[in-house]
Amino acid sequence: MKIIPDFYFAGQRNASIPLNRRQNLMRRELLEVFDNTFPERDYIIEIVNPEFTSVCPKTGLPDFGTITVTYVPDKVCIELKSLKYYFLDFRNAGIFYENVTNTILDDLVAVSQPREMSVKSEWKARGGITETVTVTHSGRKA
């Protein structure tokens, strides 16, 4: 199990937190859903958070990005206030961009079971380099 030597959480150095445990710091139980009033219809919901923040696990410096969640709901839809609080859990967590994006997709799929979903994270420049990560899920029923 790989250990990230310079991992920060809430501004404190935590060198002993294993890489695979960092996702557990984000609380999936914060997420709430509500019944989809039109489950027989395919329609697209797009949610954009232009003020997403997390922390670089190597330097402890803040990372700023935009998270876009696009999905076709099945039986339930994601409640936005709960999603806002879920996103805030990442604010002081040292986590790589790829892990942020995949963790969000995994958690949202687990609570909402959408027909389709994608999560895209677009990160502000750091050292002149930007990064965009996109992950997808297709839960279509045959």
| Residue 81 belongs to domain with CATH number | 3.30.1130.10
1 within domain boundaries: no
19 is in an annotated binding site: no
123 within domain boundaries: yes
The CA–CA distances, whole Å, from 140 to 35, 42, 72, 74, 104 equal 18, 11, 10, 9, 19
Q: Given the residues 56, 74, 89, 106, select the one marked as catalytic.
A: 56
Structural domain that includes position 110: 30-138
pLDDT digits (tens, 9 = 90+) for 43-80: 999 999 999 999 999 999 999 999 999 999 999 999 99
52 within domain boundaries: yes
13 within domain boundaries: no
6 within domain boundaries: no
23 within domain boundaries: no
78 is in an annotated binding site: yes
| pTM score of the predicted model | 0.82
Mean pLDDT confidence for 19-48: 85
132 within domain boundaries: yes
Which candidate, 50, 22, 26, places its Cα nearest to that of 123? 50
Per the structure, the count of domains in the chain is 1
Amino acid type, 44 = I
Catalytic residue list contains 56: yes
